[in-house]
């Protein structure tokens, strides 16, 4: 089992590296999150291993205590029966189990401290991960919003507006030219029609006068 300092340092180093990745540019966020999930799984395995070791020491300690209790009973029974040799051997074995139980107790206490520290570090690690993951998500959304705004304002930029204005101005100039040409043609048509009407009226008047003259002269001859 690795020492508490080494394991704690590995966990805290993972936190630092992830936070640095989150502070970097957006393309690295997804990779940073995936890496952090991997590190989180490794950290959980480390804590699980430490807990398993703690449980093993507890079992060994309890087994040693139980064995010492059994040997103690055997020693008491042997003394009551007057078998000092057997009682002495049972007392000796009882002491061995008690010594072993004390060793396991010291290891167990040390391991409990390791587990408590690792659980604390893992909890901190997990909270940091959640906060950083939320921040990464926020940064990603803000990046998308910024890109959308940039694209929109590029579409609505002054250059585009100026281009549209220029196109409208050219269209208006073309319209004015076409309207002016149409007016010229219309005036010419109107003038032609007027001249034709005037010529026709003049011819009709001349014909009427000629007919009147013929009537007058005709009457005089009679």
Q: How far apart are CA 127 and CA 211, in angstroms?
A: 121
Q: What is the pLDDT of residue 69?
A: 94
Please calculate the CA angle 25-29-33 and round it to the nearest 5 degrees: 155
More confident residue, 179 or 220: 179
Same domain, 69 and 177: no
| CA gap 68, 62 in Å, rounded | 10
Let me know whether 140 and 79 are in one domain. yes
The 10s digit of each residue's pLDDT in 168-197 is: 788 888 888 888 888 888 877 777 766 655
Average pLDDT, the chain: 76
* Residue count of the chain: 222
User: What residues make up the domain containing 209?
Assistant: 159-222
Does 34 lie in the same domain as 73?
yes
Same domain as 142, residue 163:
no
The verdict on 139 and 192 lying in the same domain is no
End position of a domain, from candidates 156, 186, 207: 156
Query: DSSP assignment, residue 157?
Result: -
- The owner of tokens 């073309």 is 174
Q: Which residue has the tokens 């290891």?
A: 107
Instruction: Name the percent of the chain lying above pLDDT 70.
Output: 67
Whether the predicted pLDDT of 25 surpasses 50: no
Query: How confident is the model over 9-17, as a mean pLDDT?
Result: 60
Please tell me whether residues 61 and 126 are part of one structural domain. Answer: yes
pLDDT: which is higher, 66 or 140: 66
The predicted model gives 143-147 an average pLDDT of: 82
- Name which of 82-96, 104-118, 147-161, 180-194 the model is least confident about: 147-161
Interval 27-84: pLDDT, tens: 556 676 677 777 777 888 888 888 899 999 999 999 999 999 999 999 999 989 889 8
170-175 long-range Cβ contacts below 8 angstroms, 24+ apart: none
38, two tokens: 């991997």
Please indicate, yes or no, whether residues 26 and 122 belong to a single structural domain of this protein.
Answer: yes
Let me know the angle formed at the C-alpha of 116 by 112 and 119, rounded to the nearest 5 degrees: 135
Rounded CA-CA distance 87/64 in Å is 19
| Dihedral pair phi/psi, residue 81, rounded to 5° | -85, -5
* Residue 189: how many other CB atoms lie within 10 Å: 10
pLDDT band at 198 (very low <50, low <70, confident <90, very high): low
Q: What is the pLDDT of residue 127?
A: 82
pLDDT at 24 exceeding the cut of 80:
no
CA 179 and chain centroid, separation: 58
Q: Are residues 97 and 51 in the same domain?
A: yes
Q: Does one domain contain both 20 and 97?
A: yes
Whole-angstrom CA distances from 124 to 14, 78, 79, 174 are 11, 56, 57, 73
Q: What is the 8-class DSSP label of residue 138? A: H
> Is residue 193 domain-shared with residue 163, that is, in the same domain?
yes
Given a cut of 50, whether residue 1 has pLDDT beyond it is: no
- Flag the least confident range among 72-81, 116-125, 152-161, 212-221: 212-221
pLDDT at residue 158, as a whole number? 58
Query: At how many degrees (to 10) do helices 84-155 and 4-23 cross?
Result: 10
State the total domains in the chain: 2
What are the Cα distances from residue 6, in Å, to 13, 117, 160, 203? Answer: 10, 12, 61, 125
Residue 148 and residue 168 share a domain: no
Same domain, 107 and 132: yes
Q: Is the pLDDT of residue 160 over 70?
A: no
Buried residues in 47-75 as b, exposed as e (16+ CB within 10 A): beebbebbeebbebbeebbebbeebbebb
């Amino acid at each position: 089992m690795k020492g508490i300092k080494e394991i704690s340092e590995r966990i805290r180093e993972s936190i630092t590296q992830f936070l640095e990745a989150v502070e970097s540019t957006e393309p690295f966020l997804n990779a940073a999150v995936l890496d952090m999930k991997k590190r989180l799984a490794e950290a959980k395995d480390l804590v699980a291993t430490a807990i398993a070791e703690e449980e093993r020491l507890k079992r060994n300690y309890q087994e040693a205590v139980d064995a010492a209790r059994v040997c103690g009973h055997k020693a008491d029974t042997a003394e009551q029966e007057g078998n000092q040799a057997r009682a002495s051997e049972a007392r000796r074995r009882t002491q061995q189990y008690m010594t072993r139980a004390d060793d396991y107790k010291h290891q167990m206490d040390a391991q409990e401290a390791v587990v408590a520290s690792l659980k604390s570090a893992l909890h901190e690690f997990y909270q940091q991960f959640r906060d950083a993951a939320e921040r990464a998500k926020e940064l990603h959304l803000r990046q998308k919003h910024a890109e959308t705004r940039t694209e929109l304002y590029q579409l609505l930029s002054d250059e585009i507006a100026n281009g549209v204005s220029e196109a409208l101005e050219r269209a208006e100039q073309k319209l004015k030219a076409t309207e002016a040409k149409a007016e010229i043609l219309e005036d010419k048509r109107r003038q032609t029609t007027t001249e034709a009407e005037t010529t026709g009226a003049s011819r009709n008047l001349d014909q009427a006068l000629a007919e009147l003259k013929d009537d007058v002269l005709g009457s005089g001859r009679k």
